[in-house]
Homo-oligomer: A and B are copies of this chain.
Amino acid sequence: MEWISHSNILIVGLGLMGGSYARALRRLGFHVMALDRDPDTIEYARAEGLVDRGYTEPREEIIRDADAIIFALYPGVLKEWIRQYQAWVKPGTMLTDVTGVKTCVVYDVQAMLRPDVEFIAAHPMAGREVYGVRNSDDRIFRDANYIVVPTERNTEAGIAWCESLGRLLGFRRISRLTPEEHDEMIGFVSQLTHCIAVSLMTCSDNTHLVDYTGDSFRDLTRIARINDAMWSELFMMNQKPLLRQMDAFLEELTAFREMLAKGDTEGMREKMRLSTARRAMFDRK
């Protein structure tokens, strides 16, 4: 499937991400359909013109109409949806997703999928600390990365289609990773940092310190406001890579603690110099 204007795009799950996709795609001239179990969400999306058509229940005539389907669901729900409704998908339809973990999703989905449709996984690395279609906003894509996560089952045409979607949505950078590379990266860059921010907020009752916190503390804990249902599911679905990252971090912080306890100033300074040099590379980009 090419990205032809007026073709029918079905978005399944109209939360913050699904809603943001809908806004971008409708503006580009696609015919956007949406499925979401919440009647309020569908009502809002219709009233605000985010979608051309919206439904609360999957029906054969809706699904058959789609030239492409974008899944913006919790990971567990995605597999179940494929199992139940793939029979209604039109041959040749392209499927993609926005799921934040890949290894435990993409292989299962591709294994159960009909051979005449293609599922190509993607991770739009964009978000906000708020949720739901009412907060959706496709400007969150502008400075963000879009990662296409192909496997051996994907065709070059499918991968190219998915990369085009990332460009159409306005992402700054499009790249490719294997599911395993993706999950290891996300375990460090996103999941470990969320675990740290949460633990920093919960390790002591610090609310009396609110008047003394500067930008450092606020920056470090901004992501401590977290959707507990979604993130606990993402953590569990990436359990092994995340445990590896947590263990590496715990070991490193414990070693730093030991240097402090022993008065090993030179050891601490060496760590600080390494940290400063590495962090400088992140500023250059």
* Distance (whole angstroms) from the CB of A240 to the closest CB of chain B: 10
Complex Cα distance, B216 from A79, in Å, reads: 28
For residue A144, which residues in chain B have a CB less than 8 angstroms away from its CB? Answer: 214
When the two chains form their complex, are residues A243 and B260 in contact, meaning their CB atoms are under 8 A apart? yes
Interface residue count on the A side (C-beta < 8 Å): 88
- Known interface pairs A206-B188, A220-B197, A263-B236; A211-B256 also in contact (CB < 8 Å): no
Complex Cα distance, B215 from A190, in Å, reads: 10
- Known interface pairs A193-B216, A212-B125, A251-B203; A228-B273 also in contact (CB < 8 Å): yes
When the two chains form their complex, are residues B275 and A212 in contact, meaning their CB atoms are under 8 A apart? no
For residue A249, which residues in chain B have a CB less than 8 angstroms away from its CB? Answer: 199-200, 203, 253
Complex Cα distance, B261 from A270, in Å, reads: 32
For residue A3, which residues in chain B have a CB less than 8 angstroms away from its CB? Answer: none
Top 10 nearest A-B pairs (CB, nearest first) are A203-B252, A228-B272, A201-B275, A228-B269, A219-B219, A198-B275, A224-B279, A199-B253, A199-B252, A224-B275
Task: Give 8 CB contacts A-B under 8 Å.
Answer: A145-B212, A193-B216, A198-B271, A199-B252, A203-B251, A203-B253, A210-B282, A231-B268
